[in-house]
A and B are shown apart, each in its own frame.
Chain A
Amino acid sequence: MVTSAVSLFAAEEGGHAAVELSSGGALAAWAWLIPVVPLAAMFVIVLFGKRFPYKGWELATGSMLFVAVYSVVLLISHWNQPIAYEQHVELARIGTLPAGDLVVEWGWVVDGLSIMMYAVVGIVGFFVFTYAKGYMEGDERFTFFFASFSLFAGGMLVLVSAPNLIQLIVGWELVGVASYLLIGHWWEDQANNAAAIKAFITNKIADIGLFIGVIIAGLVVGSFRITDVLDAVKAGDSALADVAFWVALALFVGAMGKSAQMPFHVWLPDAMAGPTPVSSLMHAATMVTAGVYLIGRMFPLYNTEGFGDDVRTWIILVGAATLLFTGLIALVQDDIKKVLAYSTLSQLGYMMAAMGAGAYTAGLFHLFTHAMFKGLLFLAAGSVIHGVHSNNMSDMGGLRKPMPYTFWTFLVGSLALAGIFPLSGFWSKDEILASISYDAGHGGGGVATLVLVVAIIGAFITAFYMARAVWLTFFGEYKGHGHPHESPRVMTYPLVGLAFLSATVGFLNMPGIATPFTDWLAGRLHEIGDHHAEAIDLGLAAVGTLVALAGIAVGTLLFRKDAATQQERDRFRIPVLYPLLEHKYYFDDVYMRGIVYPIRGPIARAVNWSNSYVIDGVVNLVGAITRGLSRVVYGGMDQRGIDLAINAVAGAAGEAGRAARRAQTGKVQQYAGALFAGAVLLVIGFVIFG
């Protein structure tokens, strides 16, 4: 049963110029292939992966290439005419409410937001998958890795393509499961297992928020379709308005888990335990972008007066806290991947803060550019780790010469992340600053002003830690073991590709000059009505750039040389702050002592008790019954019954044989005598009995 819900109407006059929306034609109608192809690739790899010449890698990468090409074709073919298309396929009816039947549906959305996400997953995914062939070469679970990787990307695509909240949860959880498999890919090491479990459980706790939000919204509106929920918001549905604050807050809690906002951020740095391509994809395209995507998808709920707009204050505060505090931790990390991980947290804080400021476009544009340069940075870091066989920057240094490709691409990524003109990070960060500044003047008040200051400080910190990472890794003396070498071409080419994108995708959204990205994202069934910069705010751009340059300068001063500046570096160790940062604000300790131990202890004791008394009791009882039965069977039936009968038969046969043997004398005449005697007896018998 297919219920088609293709809605076509011109966007209303509002923040955006009215654009004719297209239904997308056959391209959109076949877009269900986008999530299905990677998932199909996953199944084929699981079943037959090892029989392929590249052990399943080509299938996974091919599926990503398909997604990338499909989404780019969608983008280009509808460049001037955004698509807004939805399709629902009914799967089951689960109940009737006053507001309508609750239906479980599968479907797909093709609109500006989802196509942008398809493109991010497809393009970054393609580069990362290609790169992973080199990085995972010789891994004993190579094929399984690519199966999980395909599931990871496929789950994200299911999430992004979801036109209803149930499917969104399915994709959300597929991503969670795949991340568990991938973080724990090298499960032989206990620490990796612990990191995988931590990621999974932290997400699961936050997911409760998502579930609560989805259930309330579904029950109140009577439909799980996102379109219906947003229609209710648009129509000013009073039943929804009563609970909208809680729905919006609960959904945001779910988003905080996946997008690793404080205080749910603790899983993300530990997720570095996975192979580097996993970190790259997780931090760039899939997983952590899911929360921001969810807020973006539900944006009208957060942007409509009387519905969830009060939650935006929470979002902007959480985002600002995350961007500042996690950015500071990145300053003291020695593990290059952890520097990037905390950097990701900080950038996710930017995205959330932008969402909180009502800047849909700015938040998602930063998601887009961040996907490119953070994917690049992780891959480059992986290339360094591949060459040095260590994660620690204290084992690196001077890698500029032996690893030129890695160095230059890492530099491009770092500058983009720091927000240096004209690389992509400059444009997206400036857009965020401009949006928060706008919010400060239009209802955001003091909170938004404070967040603007925090965001500018964050830009300084970002530039600082990236400068530190570049100097420690690529300059000075090499401090590790062995001879570092450049990675194979299968790894460096994706670096170059992503570096090109990192440098250029910012031009897609130059406020006041050309903003195809903004127009594209506005192509949705529902009016977004966000604020986005109409022109470059030259003052803020100058401040942002100056702050970033200052950060680079400070980082350069402190970390330019190795030995000579040890004292200077020690001066950087500010007494109270430094230990606080080193211990990551004691979040992990508080969680372990305050939550995990108190819960784990009684549970462990209860499990132990039930193990000793209940399960063991059952097992022992079954064992005793089995023993008793076997005794009866062996002693009574087998030994005395069956064996006795068999022995009796055999004994009788033996005795009979022994008796009959005597007749066999071998004397012919005795036999003949018996013959004649028998004949005579027969004759007598016939005569008598006739």
Chain B
Amino acid sequence: MIVNQFLVLGALLFSLGIYGVLVRRNAILVLLSVELMLAAVNINFVAFGSYLPDAFASGHVFALFVIAVAAAEVGIGLAIVLLIFRNRSSANVDELDLMKW
């Protein structure tokens, strides 16, 4: 089995995610892009987990961990976005410049 095609897929998916995170203005879409990046990471984990066999199947296990963490992260992220939208009637990240000096 050749691992390259999986890694290329992961790299593409990760780059798409970065692009989404850096470019989209809607906070929901930024969160979705973050999910894309996590999915790319999961692909890499699983690919390496299959390519480099080990007794504990660490790659697969870590993929499951990432999914669980991502689910939690999305839950909190969506809650934040929801509250911001309620307060400001907008989910545009450009307008969230409270942390400016």
Contacts and interface: CB of A to CB of B under 8 A. Distances in A.
B2 to A, nearest CB: 22
B101 interface: yes
A664 B100 contact: yes
A667 interface: yes
A179 B70 CA distance: 101
A389 B23 CA distance: 108
Interface in B80-101: 93-94, 96-101
Interface string A664-688: 1111110011001000000000000
A666 B95 CA distance: 9
A571 interface: no
A667 B97 contact: yes
A658 to B, nearest CB: 11
B7 interface: no
Contact of A676 (B22, B97, B99, B101): B22
Nearest to A665: B100
Contact of B97 (A666, A672, A673): A666
A672 B21 contact: yes
Contacts of A673: 22
Contacts of A668: 93, 96
A664 B18 CA distance: 21
A668 B21 CA distance: 10
Interface residues of B, number: 13
Contact of A666 (B21, B23, B98): B98
A483 interface: no
Interface string B1-42: 000000000000000001001110000001000000000000
Contacts of A672: 21-22
A482 B39 CA distance: 116
B100 A669 contact: no
Q: Classify chain A's interface size.
A: 10 to 19
Nearest to A671: B99
A664 B101 CA distance: 6
Given A667-B94, A668-B93, A676 B18 contact: yes
A668 B26 CA distance: 12
Interface string B56-100: 000000000000000000000000000000000000011011111
Contacts of A667: 93-94, 97, 100
Contacts of B96: 666, 668
A661 B101 contact: yes
Interface string A641-678: 00000000000000000000100111111001100100
B27 to A, nearest CB: 9
A669 B99 contact: no
A669 B97 contact: no
B86 to A, nearest CB: 19
A665 B93 CA distance: 13
A109 B93 CA distance: 109
A565 to B, nearest CB: 110
B96 to A, nearest CB: 7
Contacts of B101: 661, 664, 666
Nearest to A667: B97
A665 B96 CA distance: 11
Contact of B21 (A661, A664, A669): A669
A666 B101 CA distance: 7
Nearest to A660: B101
A665 B97 contact: yes
B24 to A, nearest CB: 9
A666 B97 CA distance: 4
A668 B30 CA distance: 11
A185 to B, nearest CB: 77
Nearest to B96: A668
A677 to B, nearest CB: 10
B99 A666 contact: yes
Contact of A664 (B22, B93, B94, B99): B99
Nearest to B21: A672
7 contacts: A665-B97, A666-B96, A666-B98, A667-B97, A667-B100, A669-B94, A672-B21
Interface of A: 661, 664-669, 672-673, 676
Given A665-B100, A672-B21, 5 more contacts: A666-B99, A666-B100, A666-B101, A672-B22, A673-B22
Closest 4 CB pairs of A and B: A666-B100, A666-B97, A664-B101, A666-B99
